[in-house]
Structure 1
Amino acid sequence: MFRHQGKSRTVKHNLRIATILSFVAGMVNVTGYLAFKQLTTNVTGHFALFIYDLANFNFWKGTIYFLYIFSFLFGSFLSSFLIEFFSETKRLNVFVLPTLIECIVLITIGIISDFIEMRYVNLLICLLLFAMGLQNSFVTKISNAVVRTTHLTGLFTDLGIDLSLLCFPKLESKRKELKTNIKLRVFIIIFFFSGGLTAGFFYSKLDLKLNSLIFAALILIVSLFFDDFRYQVIKRRRKFTQKKTAKKAKIHLLKHNQ
């Protein structure tokens, strides 16, 4: 699901990556809000507050919201830059590095919260927004803009449009495609919601606080390793099948020549 791109990418690949990343985003969203009372997976609200502060000449206060927006933007930029750079060199799976950086950010915040007093709250919020910018960028590129996982506004808009189109008989030929899109969007919403519930339970009931982010990172790491393991198994199976087929063809050719 992290490797396939373009024509080789299927609905199953998009469903798998959508469920995992939306669950992680839901965890980050709720953990960030419970810890800092700020949104940490999208910048829509921050942009509105930034404009509000500027309109009231609170430039210094507005700078904080600008940094939030810039952090998300920089995460998106860095993710796309790394993907394009390694696509040209073809040295590794191009989506591994952005995912690992996101994991490092989440784990680091979780670990340092156990040893350091949370004085630099705005810096931590910027780091979480940076991580979500990374995620939103690489999932957009890997799915060719089909999957978005860090916020739900566009998802509910697209879901409403797709549901309305099902009401028109003249679009019967597109019914299968519409149902596939609806299924994908519903899965993302459900898993985002589930991730939020899980984070709320970990943060409040188990009193893990920001350590909840470590579990979100572990989900990503396990998914990466499982995806790579599955890819290697499929690759070796194909090679074995090809060798077996070639061997049979060779034996058949020898018998035919005799």
Structure 2
Amino acid sequence: MDLNQLECLLQQLTEAKDQIIKTANYCSAYPGSAQQIASMIENEFTQTRKDKKRIYLFLIHQIILDESQLRRQDNPFLKAFGGKLKKLLGDFCIVDDIKDLESAYTMIKRWERDLIFHPQFIQKLRSILQPKYDQLKQQQETFNALNQTDASANKQIEQSHKIYKHLQQLADIDSKTLEFNCNYDKFDEKTTSNQDLQNLIQEGEQCREQLIQSIIHLQQYYIEMAVQGENLQSEFYQGMQKKIDYYKEKKKEW
């Protein structure tokens, strides 16, 4: 095995699947150096920044899968990484993104499904991640709740503004209607000119049109309110269902 080449592969590793597979294949070709390879990967994993740690976890996962498929009798990589996984996952718990932990859970579930590690060891790995996962889950729910509160507040402001505009429109219509009635009361067929009559008719038409538009706007407003109510009810139901599904899944794992 060329240590310089392996070191170069590890330092240049990205989330690209082909790169991870290429590096894993290179490692798998040297089962006699499993302990040394595991130590080098552990070193890179420990030293890299937290948002890149998942990349080396993906690599470890791929190497373990490769060895499982090769069906080696002594399983050198399983032994090499098996002795380091608890420490590595403990270090992995400094991540801030819950998706990283979900990726780790997915790997552990795959190991459990393929019977790669003993069930008690799988349980131990889960227990290492669980406190951090619960913490990030709580933070995510709090963040979502705050966003929903802000969204609700914005909706209330928007609704209040719409109500104000509707009331303003109604006040304008009331004012124009009063003005029209006053003009109509003064109307005299004998003394009123054709131009005044046309102006009076036009004024009446404007009042009627404004009243129609106001009714339409009010109808649209109440329809929007009904739709928003249905959406809020649906969001609440979906949120509750997600919580139920989460705790069901958690119960299965335990």
TM over 0.5: no
- Give the number of the structure whose alpha-carbon radius of gyration is greater: 2
Higher relative contact order (CA 8 A, sep 6+): 1
TM-score by length of 2: 0.29
Taking structure 1 as the reference length, the TM-score comes to: 0.28
